[in-house]
Amino acid sequence: MRLVFLLWAAAGLALAQGRAVVLRPVLNMFSKPTSMTDVVTQARYGMTVTIVETRANWTRIKTPDDYPGWAAAIALHRLKKDEPGYAEKGRVATVESVFAHIYREDSVTKHAPVVTVPFETRLEVLDDHSKERWLQVKLADGRDAWIQKGDVTLEPHDRTISDLAELAKRFLGLPYTWGGTTSFGYDCSGFTQMLTRQSGTSIPRDADQQAMWSGMQPVEKADLQAGDLLYFGKSLEKASHTGFYLGNGEFIHASTHEHPVVQISKLDEEHWTSLFVGARRWKK
């Protein structure tokens, strides 16, 4: 009987495997299949994720950076075999604004937005020529909609360190969000991961993973340059916080210290000096 059960469970897990597209602007992923537990990370609107396991109304998924968590099944569109993921081919617009409203028609006055999506969201473009200030897009649920051209770019490019410093400041004041990976609210490592991703480099999700990642090289405190990543905690192996160095002794980070927002702090402040365990520079 036990052998039959194990075979049935293995078959169920195999059937659960596949891919899905995220339908919510920001999808919380939990450590267990219930919203009454902690958020471990988030998936962004239109993102294609890997299905690991299904259980009742919950699906265990992995984001493109291979981070697992449980998400509400209703918030996912399961792809058929060989069906391409959303915005994986054809003309794609990438959201450049901190947030962007998407409308049912090419007007900001007739109706409320059908959805508001965060920075980095990728959208399938249906028509980018017929309207001077509008793009017609296909949403992840198949609906046609419109977004203003000023909110997106059709030709994204890798940003320089100088670009990243200016980009980072656009998010000042956004709320700190545990597990946050989007402009709806970042946590510390979600913020630095986003910034390095904008330079064309994919680093691990969590601060301790980033600090020990083979794609990083150590940097002495006296040799810090703008763009270096700073790590804080008990040790590098147990780093619990990270920030992006701006230069002149300042760094930008998503933190709950004093004000729970994305903020600029000074490395020589007693609080941060006491917690500083090292700096890293990603290999570009």
Would the pLDDT of 217 be above 60? yes
Same fold, 92-153 and 161-282: no
Looking at residue 4, what is its pLDDT? 39
Identified catalytic residue from 101, 157, 241, 271: 241
Identified catalytic residue from 129, 253, 257, 259: 253
The domain made up of 92-153 has a fold known as SH3 type barrels. (2.30.30)
Domain range 161-282, its CATH number among 3.60.90.10, 3.90.1720.10, 3.20.20.70, 3.50.50.60: 3.90.1720.10
Domain map of the chain by residue range?
2-78, 92-153, 161-282
Residue 259, CA atoms < 13 Å, CB-side half-sphere: 11
Percent of the chain predicted with pLDDT > 70: 94
**Please, what is the average pLDDT of the chain?**
94
Average pLDDT over residues 160-179: 98
Domain range 2-78, its CATH number among 3.30.420.280, 2.30.30.40, 3.30.1130.10, 1.10.3210.10: 2.30.30.40
- Answer yes or no: 241 catalytic: yes
The predicted model scores a pTM of: 0.93
Confidence of residue 130 (pLDDT cuts 50, 70, 90): confident
Would the pLDDT of 208 be above 50? yes
